[in-house]
Structure 1
């Protein structure tokens, strides 16, 4: 969607067109094959936002967003596994702790792929995972309700909460080990292929040199909540993919044209705010645009289902896959302010 595509955008489009999209329905039903993630690793896309001096591309945020749109619109399961990787990379790039020198380069180059296990810290004052300082490191106890990419990625970014309400973020290997046990992969309404499990932590020990961040919970929330108010590129990716299905149906092209114009405008405004130099400003407008993006995604995927008629109920229909993946995006990264904004927008009004 850029005028002159960045090389990584060109690679993402090629990967989507030649590999991800042709197999998306099969992946959705049968699981994510290793070759998909191997292709993502080899493409350089995992280092899109990583510093160049560590083997990454150091690309602007606009490029990273466009890459995510393309992947999400082609194969939601592949997108969801690889999108976990970028938060650990960004966190390492900002860190001055020793773990940066050990992990940033292999993550930036795709030698290693990372997952994330920290969404549960948003449940505070409930503490699903407790972090306790021990000699030479930290002990983690509790339950990580959701961890995506089990058996597909190499390391995980794990977080726990201390007795003093400090958050401790540290890396550990994404495999069963003393103190860490995974559930069987969950059967979900969407993205089952992304291999999401829960993790039971019973005295998992992580050395101090694997810690990437220690911060007060309130300070983390000051960054996390505004970031969560921004519209997700994946929402636009799924919406545009649904509109392309409508383009292929002569009777639905006028609907696609009307929705595309509105979606383009919301995307433009949402990304302008995402690039605003003060993330904590314009929160209400960010939430409004995020909600409008969801509305348009739902309209686009619903229109694709309607246009497909009875064929849309088949599990090999891209329309129903996009509709289910859109349903998942409604709850991904759901903070309390986002939930409140979405529910308020959905509440009927009568005059």
Structure 2
């Protein structure tokens, strides 16, 4: 028995087929164009999990995961720019204050697009960005090492650490302004197209009404532990795309089928764990499944390169692009626990 896909899944598949896949190799070399982001804005995908009363779709987690798989498998750079948006939306959804009423609807409808500038808080006790109260708001100083989507998104969710080890999350405009200067776009082995920069903050001031959350660092780290241990949908999307290439090549149908069985099983396990309550006890199981997902993704992208032969070494070859994107996903959102688990798995085979 088959079921009708959610309308946003159908939308993502159409966007992938008509725009993202045909241009993915060019985008990989030249950068994500504003037209791609405009198409994502119009599609409704930026509001996939946003509350319906604010103009979003309020779709289940399974729909959000599936749309992410489709976008990542089609053009990982475009996926990576737009995926930043969903965390600010989620944080606003759980907040009750003026910034929610100001930003949640335009973010849910795609009128505005958000990025995130807070992965550095995982470096604690090192503090790359400090926050301090000043003039009825907050002053941010330091360096945001990674900020993706510069020039493509409108606002950013920024975090800094206070002298009392409290995290302050606030929204700011994603543009150069007094107290904020962006570096040149980084040249990376993969996803250079996603327009990643670093941000130098020297007294960037945001008003109190732009603050969306204040939380002790230890409490946030506990929340982040289980969340970051999940296997992300992009891993499965890139692996899916690679196996499609393998299946189309000479001698590739049977290897693709065997890898597909492994991929579907680890995806089922990963999403079942993601749907369980996020507790410290679930972390080890999630990390183990995340590592197995990496193993299958690496096998799938390597198989695509092998099936492509010498042609796969060309920069405009899809298999080679997927292999590099898979390499990026190995460290995307990496925590110390994830790194230790992955390295241990690689060492023992």
Aligned equivalents of 1:83 and 1:279: distance in 2? 24
Q: Deviations over 1:60-89 (max 9, x none)?
A: 000000000000000011000000000000
Q: Distance in 1 between matches of 2:347 and 2:57?
A: 43
The answer to whether the aligner puts 1:66 opposite 2:103 as a matched pair is: no
For residue 323 of structure 1, give the secondary structure of its aligned residue in structure 2: helix
Kept in 1: contact 2:170–2:210 (CA 8 A) = yes
1:192 and 2:198 correspond: no
Q: 1:348 to 1:276 in 2, by over 3 A?
A: closer
Match of 1:43 in 2: 43
Measured against aligned partners, the alpha-carbon deviations of 1:30-67 in whole angstroms (never above 9, x if no partner) come to 11111111000000000000000000000000000000
Aligned counterparts of 1:30 and 1:282: Cα–Cα separation in 2: 41
2:344 match: secondary structure: helix
In the TM superposition, what is the alpha-carbon distance from 1:134 to its structure 2 partner? Answer: 1.0
Cα distance in 2, alignment partners of residues 3 and 217 from structure 1: 44
Verify the 8 A CA contact 2:182 2:198 in the aligned structure 1. yes
Cα distance, 1:143 vs structure 2: 0.2
**Is this contact kept in 2: 1:141–1:204, CA < 8 A?**
yes
In structure 2, the gaps of 5 or more residues are: none
Q: When the two structures are superposed, what TM-score results if normalisation uses the length of structure 1?
A: 0.98
1:97: Cα distance to partner? 1.9
More moved, 218-227 vs 44-53: 218-227
Between stretches 282-291 and 77-86, larger displacement belongs to 282-291
The answer to whether residue 107 in structure 2 is matched with residue 107 in structure 1 is yes
Partner of 2:202: 202
Q: Where does residue 245 of structure 1 map in the other structure?
A: 245
Counterpart Cα distance in 1 of 2:6 and 2:196: 32
The alpha carbon displacement at 1:278 in A equals 4.1
The DSSP-based 3-state class of the residue aligned with 1:282 is helix
Aligned residues: 348
Q: Distance in 2 between matches of 1:277 and 1:180?
A: 38
Aligned equivalent of 1:289: 289
Contact 2:250 2:307 survives alignment (8 Å): no
CA distance in 2: counterparts of 1:161 and 1:119, whole angstroms: 12
Query: Which residue in 2 is equivalent to 1:147?
Result: 147
**Unpaired segments ≥5 residues, structure 1:** none
CA contact (8 A) 2:227 2:278 kept: no
Distance in 2 between the 1:278 and 1:187 partners?
Answer: 36
Measured in 1, the distance between the counterparts of 2:51 and 2:108 equals 8
| 1:79 alignment partner in structure 2 | 79
Instruction: Tell me the residue number matched to 1:117.
Output: 117
Whether 1:165 and 2:169 are equivalent positions in the alignment is no
Determine the C-alpha separation between the residues in 2 that align with 1:115 and 1:293. 26
Q: Is the 8 A contact 2:12 2:45 kept in 1?
A: yes
Q: Distance in 1 between matches of 2:255 and 2:75?
A: 24
**Residues 238-281 of structure 1: per-residue CA shift (max 9 Å, x gap):** 00100000111131111101100011000001101101134444
Q: How big is the shift at 1:222?
A: 1.3
